């Protein structure tokens, strides 16, 4: 089964076909990169200053929810400076030795991209501190009492780290980045631009109204925008009997209804979380872990993927006592707001 069809609005899941498509769609320069104007300006300044001084740019941390363009920006940083790019990821660096092998083979000026940097092994993290600061690592030679550490100079490089969970990074690591870019969800206009570009590349003839409808349902996330667009393209193609893909508002609505993406872009998991929060916990407050267990998901997923969007569109608020449903949530789900404190009346084993 194809991941696309299972979790159309999960910004994290990507099938092989989708990855190939993403590769083709990635903007290659800051100029082509849509939206994130603040971050674009910050990056531009940092890269230009480095170029003027003919040095490697400072280390950059890209933080933000999945699918907003972190990998794309890392590639742009390399491309804009005409620098080679090495790609790795936190889960692939489980020993300091893994990192030493990468670092010692970098060429001068290379951009090292470490995706999901918060998942790197602790021992490697410590090695990275020295590497980032002094372009040097200490390699342990021998074992036991006779072990000595041998310093090894590295080629100057730029580390670009990406994380969906900046809060999990230890302070010493966070502090060693010259700049942290916080990526924001995209607004409608920006998403329409992303979609327009992708439609052109897909050879899909789609009108403005239809684009706007997709833009409204893709959770502020370019990856989801591109994915929904492909399903609309399928729909248009099949309904024209293969004659050519042309999509209007009606086609978009029909296609997205088929795939269970509602008018706000909520998918099944979002709706499950919201329904439980509203109906079972009377709108909260309820703790993240309790919510996660109730829908049978990892609390990491709820926190990194589901919740940021629900908070952003004003369906959930985070309070010190837990997550609370906002009035808009009751309206969106067509429910009457319960009296506060209902959750306390629930039988204990229902929690
Ligand atoms: N600003 C943008 N303009 C145009 N397309 C974009 C933009 N940002 C992202 N995209 C597209 O969205 C897709 C996902 O982007 P990308 O892989 O860079 O996200 P990510 O932040 O690295 O996600 P993850 O956290 O899952 O690794 C790519 O196909 C990319 O082309
Ligand atoms: Mg990425």
217-245: pLDDT as tens digits: 999 999 999 999 999 999 998 888 766 78
> Any idea which ligand is nearest the CA of 72?
1
Question: Which residue's alpha carbon is at the smallest distance from atom 16 of ligand 1?
Answer: 69
Q: Is 129 exposed, middle or buried (0-12, 13-18, 19+ CB in 10 A)?
A: middle
Range 188-258: architecture per CATH: Orthogonal Bundle (1.10)
Residues in the chain: 351
116 C-alpha vs ligand 2 centroid, how far in Å?
8
Structure-token pair, residue 119? 């998942």
130 C-alpha vs ligand 1 centroid, how far in Å?
30
Instruction: Give the atom of ligand 1 at the shortest distance from the alpha carbon of 35.
Output: 1
Q: How confident is the model at residue 145 (pLDDT cuts 50, 70, 90)?
A: confident
Pick the catalytic residue from 158, 163, 164, 180.
Answer: 164
| Residue 223 annotated as catalytic | yes
- Is residue 90 lining ligand 1, measured as CB closer than 6 Å? no
Higher-confidence residue of 40 and 6: namely 40
Range 36-182: architecture per CATH: 3-Layer(aba) Sandwich (3.40)
pLDDT in tens, 252-273: 999 999 988 888 889 889 999 9
Classify the complex by whether its ipTM is higher than 0.95, answering yes or no.
Answer: yes
Q: What is the mean pLDDT of residues 313-330?
A: 92
Integer angstrom CA distances of residue 278 from 215, 267, 300, 337: 27, 16, 21, 8
Cis previous bond, 285, omega within 30:
yes
Nearest to 158 by CA among 107, 122, 195, 207: 107
Let me know: does 115 contact 88? Beta carbons within 8 Å: yes
> Any idea which ligand is nearest the CA of 13?
1
| Residue 164 annotated as catalytic | yes
Q: What is the mean pLDDT of residues 134-151?
A: 87
| Residue 143 annotated as catalytic | no
- Give me the residue spans of the domains in the chain: 36-182, 188-258, 268-350
pLDDT in tens, 9-31: 777 666 666 666 667 778 889 99
Q: What is the mean pLDDT of the chain?
A: 88
- Is residue 220 lining ligand 1, measured as CB closer than 6 Å? no
Which of 222, 226, 227, 229, when mutated, tests ligand 1's pocket best, judged by the most ligand atoms within 8 Å of its CB? 222
315 DSSP β-pair partners: none
- Is residue 221 lining ligand 1, measured as CB closer than 6 Å? no
User: If you average pLDDT over each of 101-110, 237-246, 306-315, which comes out highest?
Assistant: 101-110
Question: Which residue's alpha carbon is at the smallest distance from atom 18 of ligand 1?
Answer: 69
180 DSSP β-pair partners: 61
Q: What is the mean pLDDT of residues 43-52?
A: 94
Let me know: does 139 contact 152? Beta carbons within 8 Å: yes
Q: What is the mean pLDDT of residues 87-110?
A: 95
74 C-alpha vs ligand 2 centroid, how far in Å?
9
- Is residue 163 lining ligand 1, measured as CB closer than 6 Å? no
Whether this prediction's pTM lies above 0.80 is answered by: yes
The proportion of the chain whose per-residue pLDDT surpasses 90, expressed as a percent, equals 66
| CATH code reported for the domain at 268-350 | 1.10.10.10
Q: How confident is the model at residue 349 (pLDDT cuts 50, 70, 90)?
A: very low
Structure-token pair, residue 46? 């940092």
Integer angstrom CA distances of residue 36 from 17, 21, 39, 237: 26, 22, 5, 33
Instruction: Give the atom of ligand 1 at the shortest distance from the alpha carbon of 21.
Output: 29
pLDDT of the residue at 15: 65
Three-state SS annotation for the chain: CCHHHHCCCCCCCCCHHHHHHHHHHCCCCCCCCCCCHHHHHHHHHHHHHHHHCCCCCCCEEEECCCCCCHHHHHHHHHHHCCCCEEEEEHHHCCCHHHHHHHHHCCCCCCEEEEECHHHCCHHHHHHHHHHHHHCEEEEEECCHHHCEEEEEECCCCEEEEEECCHHHCCHHHHHCCCEEEECCCCCHHHHHHHHHHHHHHHCCEECHHHHHHHHHCCCCCHHHHHHHHHHHHHHHHHHCCCCCCEECHHHHHHHHHHCCCCCCCCCHHHHHHHHHHHHHCCCCCECHHHHHHHHCCCHHHHHHHHHHHHHHCCCEEEECCEEEECHHHHHHCCCCCCCCCHHHHCCHHHC
Do the domains spanning 36-182 and 188-258 agree at the CATH topology level?
no
Q: What is the mean pLDDT of residues 106-114?
A: 96
> Any idea which ligand is nearest the CA of 68?
1
pLDDT in tens, 155-183: 999 999 999 988 889 999 999 999 999 99
162 DSSP β-pair partners: 62
């Amino acid at each position: 089964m194809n991941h696309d069809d299972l979790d159309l609005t999960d910004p994290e899941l990507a099938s092989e076909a989708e990855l190939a498509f993403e590769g083709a769609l990635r903007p290659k320069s800051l100029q082509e990169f849509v939206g994130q104007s603040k971050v674009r300006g910050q990056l531009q300044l940092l890269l230009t200053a480095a170029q003027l001084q003919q040095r490697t740019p400072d280390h950059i941390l890209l933080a933000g929810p999945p699918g907003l363009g972190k990998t794309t920006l890392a590639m742009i940083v390399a491309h804009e400076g005409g620098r080679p790019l090495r790609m790795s990821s936190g889960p692939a660096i489980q020993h300091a030795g893994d990192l030493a092998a990468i670092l010692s083979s970098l060429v001068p000026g290379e951009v090292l991209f470490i995706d999901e940097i918060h998942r790197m092994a602790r021992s490697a993290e410590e090695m990275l501190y020295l590497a980032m600061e002094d372009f040097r690592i200490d390699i342990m030679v021998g074992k036991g009492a006779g072990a000595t550490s041998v310093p090894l100079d590295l080629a100057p490089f730029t580390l670009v780290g990406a994380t969906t969970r900046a809060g999990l990074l230890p302070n010493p690591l966070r502090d060693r980045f010259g700049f942290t870019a916080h990526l924001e969800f995209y607004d409608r206009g920006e998403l329409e631009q992303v979609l327009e570009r992708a439609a052109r590349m897909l050879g899909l003839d789609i009108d403005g109204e239809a684009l706007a409808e997709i833009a409204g349902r893709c959770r502020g996330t370019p990856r989801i925008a591109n994915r929904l667009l492909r399903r609309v393209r399928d729909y248009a193609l099949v309904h024209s009997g293969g004659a050519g893909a042309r999509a209007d508002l009606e086609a978009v609505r029909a296609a997205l209804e088929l795939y269970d993406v509602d008018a706000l872009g909520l998918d099944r998991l979002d709706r499950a979380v919201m329904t439980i929060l509203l109906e079972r916990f009377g709108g909260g407050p309820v703790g993240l872990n309790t919510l996660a267990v109730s829908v049978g998901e990892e609390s990491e997923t709820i926190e990194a993927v589901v919740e940021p969007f629900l908070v952003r569109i004003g369906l959930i608020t985070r309070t010190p006592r837990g997550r609370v449903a906002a009035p808009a949530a009751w309206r969106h789900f067509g429910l009457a707001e319960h009296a506060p404190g209902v959750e306390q009346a629930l039988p204990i084993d229902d929690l």
